[in-house]
Amino acid sequence: MRRFYRGIVIVLVALRYGLDELVLTSFQKPWLRVVARVVSIGRNLDAPRGQRLREALESLGPIFVKFGQVLSTRRDLLPADIADELAWLQDRVPPFDSKVAIATIERAFRRPVGEIFVQFDETPVASASIAQVHFATIRDPGGAVREVAVKVLRPGMRGVIEKDLELMAMMAAWVEGLSTDAKRLKPREVVAEFDKYLHDELDLVREAANAAQLRRNMSKLELVMIPEMLWDFCHPEVIVMERMKGVPIAQLDRLRAAGVDIPKLARDGVTIFFTQVFRDGFFHADMHPGNIQVSLDPATFGRYISLDFGIIGTLTESDKEYLAQNFAAFFRRDYKRVAELHLESGWVPEGTRIDELEGAIRTVCEPYFDRPLKEISLGMVLMRLFQTSRRFHVEIQPQLVLLQKTLLNIEGLGRQLDPELDLWHTAKPFLEKWMSDQIGPRKLLEQLRAEAPRYAKLLPQLPRLLHDFLENRPADHRRELMELLAAQKRTNRLLQAIIYGGIGFVLGLIAMQVLVRVRLF
């Protein structure tokens, strides 16, 4: 019943703000426009459509605000007036009472706010769907006063989010039960992933830990700055961090006036994204413009400032390798390899014809190469790929949903910064270097270093394990093992001969060079 009532509330809010009329008027059919006029009778719908949509999303709660944030970055898909209005959802959601924020801080740290901070600004500087931020100053252990940002969780968020997630889970179960094709999309697993990330976002200590990890990962890249967390003042409802000073990335005129190289900024954004995804498998998954600033400080001029680490995506080594190989094959236009990778990963059923899948992928992707970002849309490419995947029964991977969302955010941001950006050519060198590192000597050394402790523990036990095996195995198996050991010894002797021969050859060359130099002098 609770989910039923929440569904009714959603419908009532949609009617109150005239979202039904907004949808109907977006169609070109004359009779639908007539229906839109009829359904609007008796309702005050004078406010601009973008404002009505934004206010409706704000009324429905954090999940819908998140949806609006994603939409706000897609100016290629939305009319300008709606995109401009939804941009307010990035960091200008109506704030909650500062007295509630102060009470939350004092409850978290069990001290009056005046004892914690030298100065605390009660007016929030940013307010989003989950939390709001206040500036303050604090005295560090050395006695110096330090500027900080204080992030405070909105009260009552958990209950609101859980109601919406329950409704989404119920609708996902309905969709999966009503359509056999929907099972391929795994709607319930996708909602479960969304559930996990949203609940993670409600724990601000987890966000602080995410920020600390990203800060370590990005420390040597020198393209992005991430605030330091003050761990003595981190609580599930409140975190205190280093105050970052920069210009919001959406203020392009101000950045240009300051001399920031905007096309380079766009390229740097692509590099940061691919580094986090493929090198680290740990990426900022909420990269809308409200969470990104640009430093104008002379020491760090033109660097990104990343904020809000509540939603972080992670990838396993196998996910990273599979995706990198797919991207690299796409950039080489090797559609056959893309099709083979889908089959090898088990994402398409066995028996799928490689040539047919190759042809379908080529049809989708080929028209979009060698074009600047302003002439393509990854959203459109993904949509056409989904249509192709339906034909070939490709299983959607829930763990990649956040990556797809982040990729769309990156494209939307890149489109605003530099419409002439060639996303493929910008990313291709990075991916080729990453693939080279994955199969090169450096990767081998890293794997040997990682496995060394296990080998060191295992080697002393080998004689005992071998003895136990020989004692407990049948005679024929014992004979096979002895033959294998003999073959291994022969191989070892051969390798030793090759190594010693190589060393002798190198020493001979050195000796010859020494003799030549002696004769010259």
Of the CA atoms within 13 Å of residue 281, those in its CB half-sphere come to 12
499: its two tokens: 């190594």
Do residues 315 and 403 make contact, with C-beta atoms less than 8 angstroms apart?
Answer: yes
Note if 286 is an active site residue. yes
> What span, in angstroms and rounded, lies between the C-alpha atoms of 414 and 408?
10
Closest residue by Cα to residue 225 from 297, 281, 146, 153: 297
Do residues 70 and 89 make contact, with C-beta atoms less than 8 angstroms apart?
Answer: no
> What span, in angstroms and rounded, lies between the C-alpha atoms of 461 and 454?
11
Closest residue by Cα to residue 286 from 376, 189, 200: 200
> What span, in angstroms and rounded, lies between the C-alpha atoms of 485 and 67?
62
> What span, in angstroms and rounded, lies between the C-alpha atoms of 468 and 201?
52
- Maximum alpha-carbon separation in the chain: 106
> What span, in angstroms and rounded, lies between the C-alpha atoms of 460 and 263?
58
Taken in order 132, 135, 136, 140, the sign of the CA dihedral is positive
Residue from 91, 164, 286, 319 carrying the catalytic annotation: 286
SS3 state of residue 339? helix
Do residues 93 and 61 make contact, with C-beta atoms less than 8 angstroms apart?
Answer: no
> What span, in angstroms and rounded, lies between the C-alpha atoms of 273 and 377?
18
Active-site annotation, residues: 286
